[in-house]
Structure 1
């Protein structure tokens, strides 16, 4: 049953509403389950490797699975020269997560750039001091908010100590 294993896959799964786990080892070449055991962890996978003869263990060239450290530790102990490969599900999952982080960062940058452009447009349309103010209080309030908006547009925000902090650095 264990003869001819060259590439195996290791994973754990739960049953009984997620309260009980089982470790499964599959033969990628023959596309079948070759071993299963209750629980999961390094000790459980060590049981699998101990059942193999030296020749059977030596024939394993690649081990796929998720990024669990217990799989890495057991493979390193029993098959240090075997190639450790993440399975495609976890590769896609990691890539999707990374792509989502980049998308969020670019989206937030675009929103901030659009906000800055809107602030600049609003400030450029405010009346200047050259025109006689129709309502001096409104004129002063608009001038103050525009001054604050200009500091934001170049990345300066007042810090808690009263000093300005550059948010773009």
Structure 2
């Protein structure tokens, strides 16, 4: 059937719509176009005017139209260059060799930000690999560059490691802790990887960094000592308390092994009660925990020391925090619990980094929030084999949501 829809409505520059065919068997619309003969032919490499050798037809997929799969049949001019050389002219709405319009790729990438690749593939009737490749290519082209040499105004930064999958392909992520956004992603988690980022910073920017938040791993500490000798290292409260929780768990196992049958029954179901803060317990849980503490001196000591350790971060100054930490360690040294003594030794080794919190009040909350987003990426993908693609998804997760990604053409939305 003939139709007179202007090509501007469909935004197909260089093409004129001839007709739209409805194919009920395939449940799709096919928009047939011809090249606009009024447009001059230009060599896509040199930009010079050329002559037409012949017309080449291509069928590409566009965003759904009226709820149906939409294909566009376009016509492009093949430019005569020389006797043995021809080139197809440039098309604004589709890349060379691609079978999908730019706006369709935009739509696919927007969906992949919030859905699994498998879900998007099923919804759009595409192969899993096709959806992943579309999203990867689109992110490569559209994500803003993370260039350390152009960074300015950094005061506090945070660094952490993330894995594509458990035990596989670790990466280093760096955040601006004041602005709260990702500023760099690198492959690997060694000192050299982080040093490579720090060495790329402008000298003025590096000199202005006052503190770096991190966990207690030695590799990142080494990089800071080499490249930012004047910056303080701040070990976050979350990681300190996480290590203390491991000490509680290990000691509880020891207590359980040497307990008699009634004592074992009392200890069952108390694992997470020992780790939770008192204000998070309901009345039944609080009663059960108190009964356990009344009957086990070692676990009672660990629990009391946990509450005292949390007060460490309320100290007003660095000196006060250092003094309180040493007092806590002395109490731990007097106990007969091996894991508690080892934890106290670790606190003393990392005393400076822990107590630097009093100077800067810097936490790694932004890093942990970023890690949650990265964890959601892994969960949706059920593991990402392509490390480069994983890096792109990490960079995308740090950006604010772009609602325009859900729109292919005016009036069509998947939200």
Q: Give unmatched runs, 5+ long, in structure 1.
A: 113-167
Task: Indicate the residue corresponding to 1:156 in structure 2.
Answer: none
Mapped partners of 2:167, 2:253: distance in 1: 32
- 1:49: how far off? 0.7
Match of 1:54 among 181, 198, 203: 203
* 1:18-47 CA-partner distances (Å, limit 9, x unpaired): 421111000110011001111120110111
- 1:99: how far off? 4.1
Task: Indicate the residue corresponding to 2:225 in structure 1.
Answer: 76
Match of 1:39 among 170, 182, 188: 188
- 1:87: how far off? 2.5
TM-score after normalising by structure 1: 0.57
- 1:67: how far off? 1.1
* 1:102-151 CA-partner distances (Å, limit 9, x unpaired): 6677x58x969xxxxxxxxxxxxxxxxxxxxxxxxxxxxxxxxxxxxxxx
* 1:65 and 2:214 correspond: yes
Matched residues, number: 113
- Match of 1:30, SS state, is coil
- Match of 1:64, SS state, is strand
Root mean square deviation of aligned Cα: 2.7
Query: Do the aligned partners of residues 50 and 97 (structure 1) sit closer, same or farther apart at CA in structure 2, a change above 3 Å counting?
Result: same
Q: Give unmatched runs, 5+ long, in structure 2.
A: 1-149, 261-335, 337-415
Task: Indicate the residue corresponding to 1:28 in structure 2.
Answer: 177
TM-score after normalising by structure 2: 0.25
* 1:91 and 2:236 correspond: no
- Match of 1:40, SS state, is coil
Task: Indicate the residue corresponding to 2:162 in structure 1.
Answer: 13
- 1:98: how far off? 3.6
Mapped partners of 1:44, 1:81: distance in 2: 20
